[in-house]
Structure 1
Amino acid sequence: MREQYMRTGDGFLIVYSVTDKASFEHVDRFHQLILRVKDRESFPMILVANKVDLMHLRKITREQGKEMATKHNNHRTSGSSPSPVLWGAITPYHHMLSKCHYLIYHLTKRLCELLSTTCYFRAHKIPYIETSAKDPPLNVDKAFHDLVRVIRQQIPEKSQKKKKKTKWRGDRATGTHKLQCVIL
């Protein structure tokens, strides 16, 4: 089921709890799995640090996140969400948003501990966002919007690779040439 989401997803959020170092345990594995399923060297992904409203329980510091994002030239934002972890594919945005809280709650303990956030995200250049869904919610929607931006940045790169050769129509009598085009 997980790989099926990966095949159809246009982008991915990898979310961990800042209050649980064990949530870092599987980030690398999920990242590699996404790249393997997509058969690509890079793909739109965002790392989301969740539960930033629980400062007294925090084990992953904001400085670690900033350092990680700076070294990768990534965007970094702060926020908070009621549930600890979400790792999911964004197929249609609204569909994923409706399942967000379920995924966040049930996947908390499955993500990542053994990896140093600094080394991992330096190597993979993944944007980093901190969220909290506690009232008032902080950056929950922004995480999804940022992922859409990352996905859209990939689209021009794909279209440049698939560019067709330009067809020219020439008027031999006058020596003028016109580009054949269609307006949709």
Structure 2
Amino acid sequence: MSKRPAVQPALHKVIMVGSGGVGKSALTLQFMYDEFVEDYEPTKADSYRKKILLDGEEVQIDILDTAGQEDYAAIRDNYFRSGEGFLCIFSITEDESFQATQEFREQILRVKNDDNIPFLLVGNKSDLDEKRKVTFQEAQDRANKWGVPYVETSAKTRENVDKVFYDLMREIRARKKDENKTSNGRGKDKNKKKKLKCVIL
């Protein structure tokens, strides 16, 4: 009976960003429920939560699938602020959606004020290779420039769907461990950091 106080599994908050129609919801629903939904018309942001095993450790993933309201900067900034990691998705069949990732990246960095945030660049719809408009190399170059991983997925065939969520959670987890180390052993440094931040503002 002594095992009563169950430790809550760690919660990792993932935000899906990207232009409309690139498959954010399709990827989310495929990951959550193992089903492919082709014509999902999102009208509002949806939040999903699921318990999974991450390298043998039970964790919870909280996925915010943004939609529609990205036009309202305040709402968008709130979403970004709450996220611990980001899947930035474009469609390999649509160059415009690839160009838009630049803006999403900039918005996230501005809100987070941190350029080391857990972040994956994801080229979705890899099953439509014959309609490809964005080359693998082009996307890889952008990811290299940003210092982030690039992965191609297909919500339809499920290719790399789990991979992108798990890889991102591993980054979030590593990031949290680093932060805990920093905040545990160095009480004084923390105050210094805060002061510095005020000066920058």
* TM-score bucket (shorter structure): 0.5 to 0.7
Question: 2:60 — aligned with what?
Answer: none
Per the alignment, residue 25 of structure 1 pairs with 99
- Output the amino acid matched with 1:139: N
How big is the alpha-carbon RMSD for the aligned residues of Structure 1 and Structure 2?
A: 1.9
- In 2, Cα distance between equivalents of 1:56 and 1:43: 33
Structural mapping, 1:52-67, within 5 Å: 52-65=126-139
2:152 to 130, 138, 154: 130
Aligned equivalents of 2:143 and 2:178: distance in 1?
22
- What stretches of structure 2 of length at least 5 have no aligned partner? 1-74, 188-201
Cα deviation for residue 163 of structure 1 reads 2.3
Q: Deviations over 1:55-96 (max 9, x none)?
A: 21011223444xx2xxxxxxxxxxxxxxxxxxxxxxxxxxxx
| Count of residue pairs brought into register by the alignment | 113
Task: Indicate whether 1:8 and 2:30 are aligned.
Answer: no
Counterpart check, 1:160 vs 2:161: no
- Give the C-alpha shift of residue 12 in structure 1: 0.4
Q: Quote the Cα distance in structure 2 between the aligned partners of 1:25 and 1:13.
A: 15
Cα pair 2:93 2:133 within 8 Å, conserved = yes
- Structure 1 equivalent of residue 69 of structure 2: none
Q: Tell me, what secondary structure is at the counterpart of 1:163? A: helix
Give the aligned residue type for 2:143.
Answer: F
Give CA deviations for 1:79-122 in whole Å, capped at 9, x if unaligned. xxxxxxxxxxxxxxxxxxxxxxxxxxxxxxxxxxxxxxx2x322
Q: TM-score if structure 1 supplies the norm length?
A: 0.56
> 1:123, 1:133 → 2: CA distance?
26
For the residue of structure 1 that corresponds to 2:169, the secondary structure is helix
Show structure 1 runs of 4+ deviating over 2 A.
Answer: 61-65, 120-123, 163-166
Aligned to 2:112: 38
Range moving further from structure 2, 5-14 or 154-163: 154-163
Q: How does 1:71-150 map to 2 (within 5 A)?
A: 118=141, 120-134=142-156, 136-150=157-171
Q: Distance in 1 between matches of 2:109 and 2:186?
A: 30
Shift of 1:165: 5.7
Gaps of 5+ in 1: 69-117, 167-184
Give TM-score scaled by structure 2 length.
0.52
Q: How high is the sequence identity, in percent, across the aligned residues?
A: 39
For the residues of structure 2 that align with 1:146 and 1:155, how far apart are their CA atoms? 14
CA distance in 1, matches of 2:134, 2:99: 13
Over 3 Å counting, the alpha-carbon distance change for 1:41 and 1:148 in structure 2 is: same
Structure 1 CA distance for aligned equivalents of residues 90 and 176 of structure 2: 27
Structure with bigger gyration radius: 1
Q: Which has the higher strand share?
A: 2
Alignment partners' CA distance in 1, 2:112 and 2:101: 16
Closer, same or farther: CA 165–2 of 1 in aligned 2, 3 Å: closer
